Copies of this chain bind each other. A is one copy, B any other.
Amino acid sequence: MPDITAVRTALADQRVETPSWGYGNSGTRFKVFAQPGVPRTPREKLEDAAKVHEFTGVTPRVALHIPWDKVDDYAALAAHAKDLGLELGAVNANVFQDDSYKLGSVCHPDAAVRRKALAHLMECVDIMDATGSRDLKLWFADGTNYPGQDDITARQDRLAEALHAVYERLGEDQRMLLEYKFFEPAFYTTDVPDWGTAYAHCLKLGAKAQVVVDTGHHAPGTNIEFIVAVLLREGKLGGFDFNSRFYADDDLMVGAADPFQLFRILHEVIKNGGLAPAAGVAFMLDQCHNIEAKIPAIIRSVMNVQEATAKALLIDDEALAAAQAEGDVLASNAVLMDAYNTDVRPLLAQVREEKGLDPDPIAAYRASGWQERIVAERVGGEQAGWGA
């Protein structure tokens, strides 16, 4: 049976990184519905993130998205974060929202566009130097919409060239996290469509290049926990972009669509040594709260990750290994389900109280008056959002 003290410690030590853009407006191609109180600046995003950390106690790091979080003075931004009890996390490059990227960025047929994209990636590493961020997160919207539109392997060559240049630029303690995505916004080929492609590139680059798994970026039916297990076995899992989906890259709150899947993913993480901070696996959220209130949605998402982690920590490893060794299909499945069926909310409430936190972060946030305050104060200006 799992040692409950160790479980509590692991839960207390787990960290979830929240994304600056999760606090801003987002939507679908059909409509972005603005919400009152949404931040207008990177500093305001950090202030919202600080509230999430205040009530959950496990989200000290905030990921940036460049140029959405572009500021003149990143050291000042980092200092502001520090004042709020936060630190700046992964820097996410954006090479998909400039008009010149219509046919791609680092894979574009035109060398001039590729140079522009590469310059942006390099700028992101400069920002990392200034913010002290460890991770450069690279997601490329690159791809094609029509058969014949461009040459698949030529685009791979261009991609490899850009990745290599960025890799060379990384500092000693910096990493490159390469994200793959099944489709969208490209509709025929995507230049990094699956973990295999990301893995092959990272392998050639070296130890500082790692694969990041966005839980919404797979073909229907893909067994994500298998990929997680294999990447951990290969020493190539750099982190997660957590969210959930019923269909495509829906970017719903993590754990909302399939909580059992999240549990299975965390089980593989834990079993293969990925939970310990030393493993270097970054647990990040990447979600779009299109219709729900953003701050409580992020708090709920963090809690969902915690609940899945708690259940996975409660698995009786010895019993599981014994049943597996005997080939007892029902017994081994039952060991897993016993943990999954446990109500871990009391345990997590306890862990929070031990940290001096309210056992119910959502209620505590609602009672804090923060939402009313930002709605009242953040009037005028331009709300942050995708592309802003």
Give chain A's interface residues, CB within 8 Å of chain B: 26-31, 33-34, 96-97, 99, 101-103, 108-110, 141, 145-153, 156, 182-185, 187-190, 193-197, 199-200, 203, 218-223, 225-227, 229-230, 232-234, 245-248, 250, 252-253, 256-261, 264, 268, 271-272, 290-293, 296-297, 300, 307, 320-321, 323-327, 329-330, 332-337, 340-343, 345, 362, 386-387
Contacts and interface: CB of A to CB of B under 8 A. Distances in A.
Given A27-B29, A96-B30, A296-B330, A324 B152 contact: no
A147 B336 contact: yes
B258 A258 contact: yes
Contact of A151 (B151, B219, B321): B321
Given A109-B324, A188-B246, A329 B146 contact: yes
A26 B28 CA distance: 12
A145 B245 CA distance: 9
A258 B258 CA distance: 7
A334 B366 CA distance: 14
Which of A110, A188, A203 has the largest count of B CB atoms less than 10 A from its CB?
A: A188
A335 B149 CA distance: 9
Given A103-B329, A146-B330, A196-B197, 15 more contacts: A30-B96, A30-B185, A34-B99, A102-B291, A108-B327, A109-B325, A147-B264, A148-B320, A148-B324, A183-B248, A184-B247, A188-B252, A189-B223, A189-B226, A203-B203
Contacts of A184: 28, 30, 247-248
Contacts of A327: 103, 108-110
Contact of A336 (B148, B199, B321, B387): B148
Nearest to A304: B337
Contacts of A321: 151
B335 A341 contact: no
Contacts of A342: 343
Contact of A29 (B150, B183, B386): B386
A31 B333 CA distance: 22
Q: Which 6 A-B pairs have the closest CB atoms?
A: A196-B196, A148-B336, A219-B219, A28-B185, A187-B250, A220-B220
A97 B258 contact: no
A150 B332 contact: yes
A29 B34 CA distance: 15
A292 B248 contact: no
Given A30-B141, A260-B260, A341-B345, A223 B195 contact: no
A2 to B, nearest CB: 15
Contacts of A256: 146-147, 333
A226 B329 CA distance: 32
Contact of A291 (B31, B103, B152, B226): B103
B333 A146 contact: yes
A318 to B, nearest CB: 13
A187 B246 contact: yes
Nearest to A27: B29
A315 B367 CA distance: 24
7 contacts: A147-B260, A149-B329, A152-B226, A156-B229, A256-B333, A260-B260, A330-B362
A193 B222 CA distance: 9
A230 B197 contact: yes
A227 to B, nearest CB: 8
B233 A246 contact: no
A211 to B, nearest CB: 10
Contacts of A335: 148
A329 B292 contact: yes
A333 to B, nearest CB: 4
A332 B226 contact: no
